[in-house]
A and B are shown apart, each in its own frame.
Chain A
Amino acid sequence: MIRYFFLRLAAAVPTLLMIVTATFFLMHAAPGGPFDQEQVLAPEIQANLQRSYGLDLPIWSQYGRYLASLRHGDFGPSFKYKDFTVTELIAQGFPVTFTLGVIAILLALGIGIPLGTLAALHHNTSLDHATMSLAVLGIAVPTFVVLPFLGLLFGVYLHWLPVAGWEARSIRHLALPVIALALPPLAYIARLTRGSMLEIMGAHFIRTAFAKGLPASTVILRHALRPALMPVASYLVPAVASIMTGSLVVESIAGLPGIGRYLVQGALNRDYTLVLGMVIIYSTLLISLGLLVDLLYAWLDPRVRR
């Protein structure tokens, strides 16, 4: 197991390098550049700009320079947000996006797992049906429809919560975006938990546990839940990816100053360094999460530890 983990760890670096390389060359291969504007610049100015950002160099040496600066954790200067480095831009917005995402995933796990478990234990009752209907709704309806509808209901009509905007450490401003973000993974987790819980409650070792006279709560919490969480663990990476994607639209609808907007805007502006920086941040997060999930597997299922 430990050997396997280190193998994965060692594979993570080349994977990341591959992503960086692919993104780098794709961006540079695309038509247009960061200094194409409606107002055409004089060729001398254009040339000077190109030179100062190193865009006049052959592409291989640009690539080499970029990798060299990455080694010091420097993402380079932004092409569009003058006077800012990409590191600064990301450092400003990241805490907002991160807070949003972490609360959303905790909410999804914290509600999804108990809900799925309850639905499985009360199989074919109205509780079960209600949970599963809610789950279909959560999976089917897109985040960018849920959030404005919630805003319309709780913001515009009921005036309970602000529709959009951001204040540091204000739960009220985060409430609707977090709910909208958490809903799809929550629904999916509830469904997964219910499915695997139903299967495991029929297993022999659960029957044995009951036969020993253990109370139901012990059987469920200590014996059934842990193996039942395996599929949820393997869903964690896609769940976080879906929250990341969702935060792109959620931040723009709710007007939150996160990093979501930089991806689309940066790509539209051909802001090479900014987009690369974003891709690196997102990929690193997902890859390290994947490694964590491997460890989680070992904890959930002792058979993996060998």
Chain B
Amino acid sequence: MRRMRANSAAVMALYLMAAIFVLALLAPWFNPNSADTLDWAHAAARPGMQGAHWFGTDRLGRDLFVRTLAGTRMSIVIGLAASFISLAVGVSYGAVAGYVGGRADQVMMRMVEILSGLPLVFFVIFLTVMFGRSEYLLFFSIGAVGWLTMARIVRGQTLSIRKREFIEAAVASGAGTPRIIAKHVIPNVVGPVVVYATLMVPQIILFESFLSFLGLGIQEPGASLGTLVAEGVGEMETAPWILVIPGGVLAVLLLCLNLFGDGLRDALDVKEA
């Protein structure tokens, strides 16, 4: 932890990130506007104090401050939920492959290799288009793509501990394979998993906003940062703030998450598998 604190960029990133999180959660309480009320008197208003629209409004007069923070909240929620799915799938898959070993391991990892060589993004685009655009499907399909790297890392870690004495002791005391994997293998690979999970969250938020940008993610009137940026691009020559504000927030959020994850990795000195 001391090494973490020495990394000033990571510490600043952590504070900034915390500030964004808190703002996103508390926004409804300290700005009088709501995310989807139309204020026709102030459509496409510049940022300022007009009608308490601190960041201005969009083409329909919706308050940009509240909308951006609602979008941030959505992006964070989806990012965390999808990361959790990737984590659950990746960790169990990797632990089983690494612990069972032999032919099963070869087949399982060969599958991961083939899958990660494919343009999976196109597959996700596909799934979301084909089977409706619900939020659940969205984070499920993102999660389905994100587990590959995690599986690889966990397998590597598992290989390095499977011959250790405490595993042998568990085998000797008659524990079954599923029990050993759940009780002894997984708890002992948590360190690197946590580090890579923090690096996975920004990737997943990025991917979600990418899908939303293409119009395949969150639908109107809901908003994620990707949807807001897409709206802003259409208006950038006349009302640049509609682009700059959500785009800026997205950039800063992702930057902070990345800096924090990098800092954590360096501080704990985790090697890539």
Any A CB within 8 A of the CB of B88:
no
- Chain B 82-120, CB-CB to A under 8 Å as 1, else 0, gives 000000000000000000000000000000001011110
Q: Which of B43-51, B165-173, B233-241 contacts its partner?
A: B233-241
Q: Which residue of B lies closest to A264 (CB)?
A: B214
Q: Which residue of B lies closest to A282 (CB)?
A: B119
Secondary structure at chain B's binding surface: helix, strand, loop or mixed?
helix
Q: How far is the CB of A279 from chain B (nearest CB, A)?
A: 6
Any B CB within 8 A of the CB of A186:
no
Q: Which residue of B lies closest to A289 (CB)?
A: B117
Q: Which residue of A lies closest to B202 (CB)?
A: A140
- Chain A 14-37, CB-CB to B under 8 Å as 1, else 0, gives 010001000100110111000000
Instruction: Please indicate the chain A residues that have their CB under 8 angstroms from the CB of B131 in the complex.
Output: 30-31
Docked-complex contact A156 and B206, CB < 8 angstroms: no
Any A CB within 8 A of the CB of B21:
no
Partner of A142, one of B210, B243, B244: B210
Any B CB within 8 A of the CB of A275:
yes
Q: State which residues 49-69 of A face B: CB under 8 Å.
A: none
Task: Tell whether A244 pairs with B233 under 8 Å between CB atoms, given A145-B247, A145-B250, A264-B216.
Answer: no
A127 to B240, CA, bound (A): 33
Instruction: Please indicate the chain A residues that have their CB under 8 angstroms from the CB of B213 in the complex.
Output: 144, 249
Q: How far is the CB of A92 from chain B (nearest CB, A)?
A: 20
A219 to B216, CA, bound (A): 51
- Chain A 225-247, CB-CB to B under 8 Å as 1, else 0, gives 00000000000011001001100
Q: Which of A80-88, A112-120, A146-154, A297-305 contacts its partner?
A: A146-154
Q: How far is the CB of B217 from chain A (nearest CB, A)?
A: 12
- Give the residue among B117, B202, B240 with the most A Cβ atoms within 10 A: B117
Chain A interface size range: 35 or more
Docked-complex contact A141 and B243, CB < 8 angstroms: no
Docked-complex contact A245 and B121, CB < 8 angstroms: yes
Docked-complex contact A140 and B229, CB < 8 angstroms: no
Any A CB within 8 A of the CB of B122:
yes
Docked-complex contact A241 and B233, CB < 8 angstroms: no
Docked-complex contact A152 and B240, CB < 8 angstroms: yes
A284 to B126, CA, bound (A): 18
Instruction: Please indicate the chain A residues that have their CB under 8 angstroms from the CB of B243 in the complex.
Output: 148-149, 152
Any A CB within 8 A of the CB of B60:
no
B binding-site residues for A, Cβ under 8 Å: 114, 116-119, 121-122, 125-127, 129-131, 202, 206, 209-210, 213-216, 226, 229-230, 232-233, 236-237, 240, 243-244, 247, 250-251, 254-255, 257-259, 262
A binding-site residues for B, Cβ under 8 Å: 15, 19, 23, 26-27, 29-31, 136-137, 139-142, 144-145, 148-149, 151-152, 156, 163, 237-238, 241, 244-245, 248-249, 252-253, 263-264, 267-268, 275, 278-279, 282-283, 286-287, 290
- Please name 7 further chain A to chain B contacts, defined as beta carbons within 8 Å, in addition to the given A148-B233, A148-B236, sorted by A numbering: A23-B126, A142-B250, A142-B254, A237-B117, A248-B214, A267-B129, A286-B119
